[in-house]
Each structure stands twice: as structure tokens, then as C-alpha cells.
Structure 1
């Protein structure tokens, strides 16, 4: 049968079974139907495990074991209630019920580990904040009232086991929801199934198994979790639980911020509710939870600040760097040239500047394509940079033009450096250059202008040469003729 229809049939059949369950009178038939729905969910999970294999198959197998444990508990309770005529607490059925939680939590942690992204540290902190905040109402409403009042240690352990298992399962669910990954229909159905399970536990524990017309209040959420789990396992997207989201790391959205704010306010809100209701406030649990939340929130803020600083650094790097060649751009050139002016003026050392232009670059682009032209520009930038000294700076000025700032070099030394650059120019290409020496008075823009005029003269003279700018030494230098 087509998988796109199978899960719908299972879901509709499960909802129909829930309706029949509500209409059936108390008796073995009703409880047998209850157990059958759970076994159907377990069978669907095992089927997905066999069909998918790998890590996702293991996750489905763990969830199937959890559902099988709960269904076994249902069958044992059917025996106690309708065959043996017993109402034991605690019993072996409770052990099987509790087995559901470690298996399902292990599946959630397995999925979380495989869905992790590079920005997962923030997701871990977010899940820790949510878990710590929700633990307080669990403690006050469900865990603390179950401490004491039991005849045996086993009874005490079982009574505390349910709310504690809920906390562990909730932590696993929050962890899974906090990390990245695609929110497929199967993933959403699993999430709804676990929320149904948790709500059923809260209702059952807080109402101490209260009934309406002979129907326990927590039964319908438990049944719904079975149905949703089976539908998730049979859905065509069951194999995509490990698929990462195309958006990458989870973004710190306004919704996430509001969720964290609401969770953090649970601690003072719990104490305020107790005071308003006239109950004795849970001072120590509130104090410990508040301190833990404070530390976690500060850690989250520190992580956000670090990420903002890193993004600011990257933006600054992008603003100062030419994206194609990786060289400093014109903005960085202007700033560096101003600093070199101050240094040269202070210590009296020479400062040379060359304007470099790849010869016949347009013809190269037309002949080989723009991608080849880009490779030539980036290759030339890399080759020239490797030949420079420690204080020299090569920047991309625009198009196929580059500017070389040479602090501490006189004209002859600068010409020798340019000759070494000519040797390593890739793909047999040549360049023309205009060379200018700072006269100690002119502005950076004037120095660049003189170098640009000299570059124009080099091109007019036949290219593949270095020409000294007027004011440095008229005409081409003897060593700058065509190689």
C-alpha cells in the first residue's frame, strides 16, 4: 500500500478506536482495545526501524521498545484488573510503564546528536534554560507532593519515578526542538505524541487517577500519543528525521526569546502563585532554580555577545578586503597609506608607491572568459603577495589595477621589487606600472595621481614596463625596459 495513504489510514483508524473506547463501558473489551492501540503504535515503529536501518532506524527501534513497554504495562494491568481482581500499587506493570521513558529519551538524544549544527552550543543552553525553568513547577506540583506517604521503598521509587521520568523526557524533547534540523511531518507528529504523553502523565498524577463516567482522565492523551506515534512511523518522511535544515544553525528568533523569558519568569511566578493561594512558598526550590537560571541566562548572553563580536569582526573584514583576490581594498589602502605617511614623516624614511595594471586584460577576458579573468586576478594577487617584504602592502585598486605601497624603499629598491613581481606573474601575462616617490609634502591623493600618470605613460610607451612618475625622476628608468 502507498506510504502516503498508510499513515492516514492508521491515524483515522486510531481516532476511530479512541471514539469506540470512549463509548465502550468499563470492562475487559475496553482495556483490550486500549492495549491494542498501543501495540499498533509499537508495531508501526518497529516496521519503520526495519525499513530504514542506520541511525534513524535505531531511533525508531528505541521508540518502538518504549511503546512496547507501555503496552505491556497495559496488558498486565488488564490482567490485574479484570482477571486477578487486584488493584496493586506499585506493581510489575509500573515497571513496564516506566521503561517507556528511558527508551524514548534515548531515541530523542540520538536524533539530537545527529541533527546538531555548528551553532549548537546556543541550542544546548536554550534547552537547559527551558528544562530548568519547567522543572520547578514539576517539583512543586508533582514531585514534592509524592515524597513520603508510601509503605515501601519500592512504592516511593515508583511514585517519584513517573514525574522524574517526565522531567527526563521533557529535557530530551526540549533538546531535540532546540537544535536545527528539518521539521518534517513525521517529526511534528512525534512531537505531538510526546506532548500528549506528558499531558496525560500530568493529568493522571495531579488528579490521582480521577475518572469521569468510569473513564480515567489521562487515558485519552495516552491513547492519542500511541496513535500519533504510529502515524509518525508510517509517514513517508519517517526516514528524514536526521535531515538537517537548509537554514543551518537555528536562529535566535523573537519567538525563542519570548519563550525563554516566559520560562525564566516561572520561578518568581511559582512563588507568587503560592503566596496568593495561601500556601507555604517553596523557598529553597525557587532559590536554587532562580540561581541556576541566572547562570544559564548569563552564559547565553555571553554566547550571543561573542557571536555578535565575531559577526562584527567578519563584517569589518569584508569591508576591508577585496572579495575576489583577498587583498586589502581601497578603503584599507587609504587608511594604511595615511599611517605610512605619518611614519615616513616621523623617521625620515622613503615611501614609494606603484600603480600596477595587468596588460591587455580586456583581450584576455574576451578570449578566455570572465571566470578565467577572475582566476588571473586572484592568481596574480597571490603570487605577488608571496614575493613582498614584511612592510610592503599590495591592495586592489579596482578592475585589473593594483596599488603597491613600499615603506622604507627608495626608487631603485622599489624597481627591483617590481621586477621580481614581473617574474612570478601567472599565465605568462605582463603588467605596466607607474612608480612614485613621496616628496615629503604632497597628500596621498596627489601621490596616487602621479603614480597613475606614470602608469598611463608606461602603457603609452608600449606596456610591460615601469615608469617613474614626474617629480621622482623623469622618464623610464634604465632597468624598467621590456624584459
Structure 2
């Protein structure tokens, strides 16, 4: 790079130097792939071919000029320059597909929003003027439009990689640097052309060096050991945007109306159709993003509701869910004239088990016991964790004798060689839920006093 600034401007050596830098960078990409063996080498072959082709365009243009072959615009040099876009885009598509195998629609919507806003600017200031230039033929129009479209495609992929967290990987950081170099270099030339500025030798070299830095950044990406992890799936990104991204999305969404206001202020709206389409597209993308946020809010609200009534360890209803369900069950029992029985269960010597085997073993006992007991209950029965090692069972349409048999089956199924004591109580006429539970609790203590590992039935 230093040598490029030293060699005489406009000399053949300068051209050879530029092309050499590009081809050395392409060779370094190949070397990096052979050395580190990344999971998807094809994407790096495509990037290497794009870099080599783009650098070759400098040589082709010089040869055509020195041979005084005036083929007009476009020339074979443009074909070489443009090869960077489809080849690099193909490689980046492979990279994105492997990093986002589950199709992260949140990232896709954000990337599309940013690209649409920038694309509208490119259409008004670059694509439309090139497409309507009467001084070039159809092929010239196609090639002129291909350059900004290629930049828009690379921009979309750059944004997608940034949103996917590519900056956490050093190799991908170099890829992003390379893409930003090419996008920055092309943007600088657009500004130069818009203001009709003729860069001098030093400015011309400075602009050219931005692209050379892009070649080197691609090479640095392939040579870094992190290239092996570049295609690993990216971690899931939260749907809610951060403040920085929200500010960028807001600014992007305002591009279309700001352009409309600017043209209106100048007294003539020349791009009404493009701005209108841009407004509609950005509005629909904003709606899609809002829909994603609302869907996430609904999912999170549902999870919060479930967590509020679910025991985290066993997955059973918790005490809050039980306290809400019992009055309803009592009302149904009285209305239908059917019996309702509840049973309080308490694992015997659970503290001793925890002290002997540790709390993880105690947690495993609670989970396995809950699953084993659930398998011996009827569909209409409800098993809940009442607190600590205490569980409670609601047995609709079950008499005391039937409930005793069900609880005995559960007791026999208790895992890890453990036992439990149980107190059973059947709803009495005019009895409240607190009174029913108090009788079941008293029966439980009767079972413990009688020696544990048994079922006691409350009188009444």
C-alpha cells in the first residue's frame, strides 16, 4: 500500500502494482482456505475470484487505453470490475445461510428496511439518471445500473451480517471491513461525480487505495484462524431492537418523506412514483416489525401467565393455581351432586434425603416423583406442588375408598426407594375449601404419627 503511493502516478508500474495487490490478496484468500480448512470453502473461492476479477479490470482498462481501442462504454474492463458483485454476493449468501439456518425474520426485516431506504436514495441519485442517460445505448444503461445495484446488494448483506452479530468473529470483522471499503469507495466516487470534482493524482490514489484496502481485508479474513468458525450459526437475536438500531431504523423510515418534502420545497416533484413506492414499502416493513414485536409480547405474556401458575421444578400447577381451581371444583361438586376428595402428600424424611445425597438429588426426586405419580392419576385428577416436599391431589367424583386406592397406587410408584405419607378428606355438605384442606392436613399428620408410609383418611 505504501509502495502504491510512491510509484509514479499514471505509470505502467502503478497499474501493475494495483493489479498485483488484488491478485496477491486473492492468492492469500486461497492460502487461508488451504491452511485453515473452513467448513464452507466454496464461499471463499467465490470471494477470491471476485477480488481477482475486480483487480483485473484495472489491467484490462489500461491495456485497452494503451492500445487505443476505443470500444466506448461499456468495455471489457466493466465486465471485470462488475465480476466482484455477483461472485462476492454468492459467497456472502452462503455465509448468511449457514449462519442463519433457521431464517431469522427479525434480522431480515431490519436489513430490508435499511436497504430499502438507502436503495431509494440510490435510485434517485444514481440508478434513474444512469438508466435515462441518452448518450449510452441499452447495454450502457444495463452496466451503469449494475454498479449501484451491486452496491445495494452488498449493502444488504453487510447489514444482515452486522445484525447477525458477525462482529464477534475476527474473520467476519475483516469481511465487514472489506465490504465497507468497497461501499465507501463507490460512495466517494458517486459524490465526486455528483459535484463534478476532478481529483488530482494524490486524491485519485487515495480513492483507489480504499479498494486496495478492501482486497487486503478479505485476505486478512481468510488468513485468520477464526475463519473456521465463521459459518457457525449465529446466536438468536432479540426481537426488540436496541436504541442505536431503533434510531437507525427511524432515520431510514424517514428517508422517503424527507425526499418528498425536499423536492416539494424545490418546487418540482420529479420522483413521485419512486418516493411513493418507497413510502409504501417502508410503511409495510414498519408494520411487519411491529407485528413481530406484538407477537413476541403475546408469547412473553403467555409465558409469564404460565410461570405464575406453574411450578418451575416439576412443571405441575403451583399453590397459586391450586388455590384458584379448588373453589371452582367445590362449586361444580355441589352443583352436580358428586363427591370431591383431596389428598395432601408429604415425602417422608425428605430433609434427611437432601442431607445425604445433596440438593440436586432432592430436586431430581421431586421431579421424578411428580412424573411417576401423574402416570397413576385419572385424566380428571389434578396433581399440584403445594410447597417444598408437599403435594396435593384433587380427585373429582371420587369417594374416600376410591381416593384411598388411587393414593396407594401412587405411593407404590414413588421412585428412588422413597415413601410418602398422605391425608385424604372428602368434601362434606356446607364445607368451605379451607375446612376441607384443614381436615386433609390433620389426616396427613395422623399418617405421620402412625409411622409414615401410609394413607390416613379424615373422618366426616
**TM-score, L = length of structure 2:** 0.92
The alpha-carbon distance between structure 1 residues 87 and 29, as it changes in their structure 2 partners (threshold 3 A), is farther
CA displacement, residues 112-166 of structure 1 (integer Å, 9 cap, x when unaligned): 1111165711111111111112110000010001013244322222111111111
The alpha-carbon distance between structure 1 residues 188 and 93, as it changes in their structure 2 partners (threshold 3 A), is same
CA displacement, residues 267-295 of structure 1 (integer Å, 9 cap, x when unaligned): 11122233334553310011111111111
| Residue of structure 1 in register with 2:292 after alignment | 303
Is 1:51 the counterpart of 2:28 in the alignment?
no
Is 1:213 the counterpart of 2:200 in the alignment?
yes
Is 1:200 the counterpart of 2:191 in the alignment?
no
SS at match of 2:269: coil
Task: Verify the 8 A CA contact 2:167 2:173 in the aligned structure 1.
Answer: no
Distance 1:137 1:94 in 2: 23
| Residue of structure 2 in register with 1:176 after alignment | 161
Residue number among 80, 101, 110 corresponding to 1:96 in the alignment? 80
- In the comparison of the two structures, how many residue pairs are matched? 454
Task: Verify the 8 A CA contact 2:350 2:389 in the aligned structure 1.
Answer: yes
Is 1:240 the counterpart of 2:229 in the alignment?
yes
CA displacement, residues 37-64 of structure 1 (integer Å, 9 cap, x when unaligned): 2222212222222223344422221111
| Residue of structure 2 in register with 1:9 after alignment | none
| Residue of structure 1 in register with 2:426 after alignment | 437
The alpha-carbon distance between structure 1 residues 262 and 65, as it changes in their structure 2 partners (threshold 3 A), is same
Task: Verify the 8 A CA contact 1:49 1:59 in the aligned structure 2.
Answer: no
Distance 2:67 2:171 in 1: 38
Residue number among 393, 402, 405 corresponding to 1:413 in the alignment? 402
Task: Verify the 8 A CA contact 1:28 1:82 in the aligned structure 2.
Answer: no
Residue number among 234, 237, 252 corresponding to 1:249 in the alignment? 237
CA displacement, residues 53-77 of structure 1 (integer Å, 9 cap, x when unaligned): 3444222211111101101111111
Task: Verify the 8 A CA contact 2:166 2:173 in the aligned structure 1.
Answer: no
| Residue of structure 1 in register with 2:446 after alignment | 457
Distance 1:276 1:232 in 2: 47
Distance 1:26 1:322 in 2: 76
Is 1:288 the counterpart of 2:277 in the alignment?
yes
Task: Verify the 8 A CA contact 1:201 1:218 in the aligned structure 2.
Answer: no
The alpha-carbon distance between structure 1 residues 242 and 264, as it changes in their structure 2 partners (threshold 3 A), is same
| Residue of structure 1 in register with 2:93 after alignment | 109
Distance 1:44 1:250 in 2: 36
Residue number among 61, 65, 79 corresponding to 2:45 in the alignment? 61
| Residue of structure 2 in register with 1:157 after alignment | 142
Distance 2:369 2:50 in 1: 63
RMSD: 2.3
Distance 2:233 2:115 in 1: 23
The alpha-carbon distance between structure 1 residues 238 and 134, as it changes in their structure 2 partners (threshold 3 A), is same
SS at match of 1:353: strand
> Structure 2 unaligned runs (5+)?
none
Task: Verify the 8 A CA contact 2:54 2:84 in the aligned structure 1.
Answer: yes
SS at match of 2:451: coil
The alpha-carbon distance between structure 1 residues 357 and 117, as it changes in their structure 2 partners (threshold 3 A), is farther
| Residue of structure 1 in register with 2:116 after alignment | 132
Is 1:328 the counterpart of 2:317 in the alignment?
yes
Per the TM alignment, residue 368 of structure 1 is displaced from its structure 2 partner at its CA by: 3.4
Task: Verify the 8 A CA contact 2:444 2:455 in the aligned structure 1.
Answer: yes
Distance 2:405 2:219 in 1: 77
